[in-house]
């Protein structure tokens, strides 16, 4: 297992959140190779993959239905707590 730690660009940069991503050795090698071939950093390759995943989920009607259900459930709980 290979661990990549994506850290903030600067200590004072509060607009980015740091994550640790654990990949098996093959995934890590594939990520390194594809990032190098694209001329981008591993961190940028991960950011692009996350952005693509989020956009794909936004376009998925079943996912959107689950999100709406979660919003409705949370709204009921928050309203109850506010009483």
DSSP string, 16-56: ---EEEEE-HHHHHHHHHHHHHHT--HHHHHHHHHHHHHHH
- Taking the mean position of all CA atoms in its chain, how far away is CA 82? 31
The answer to whether residue 26 scores a pLDDT higher than 70 is: yes
**Tokens of residue 57, six digits:** 């989920």
What pLDDT does residue 10 have?
Answer: 47
The answer to whether residue 6 scores a pLDDT higher than 60 is: no
Interacting residues of 20 by C-beta distance below 8 A, sequence separation 6+: 3, 4, 5, 6
The answer to whether residue 76 scores a pLDDT higher than 80 is: yes
pTM exceeds cut of 0.75: no
pLDDT digits (tens, 9 = 90+) for 34-75: 999 999 999 999 999 999 999 999 999 999 999 999 999 999
Half-sphere exposure of 68 (CA within 13 A, CB side): 7
């Amino acid at each position: 297992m290979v661990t990549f730690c994506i850290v903030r660009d600067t200590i004072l940069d509060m607009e980015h959140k740091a994550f640790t991503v654990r990949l098996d050795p093959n995934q890590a090698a594939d990520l390194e190779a594809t990032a190098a071939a694209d001329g981008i950093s591993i961190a940028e390759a991960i950011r692009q993959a996350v952005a693509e995943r989020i956009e794909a989920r936004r376009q998925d009607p079943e996912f959107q239905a689950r999100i709406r259900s979660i919003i409705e459930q949370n709204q009921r709980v928050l309203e109850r707590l506010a009483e």
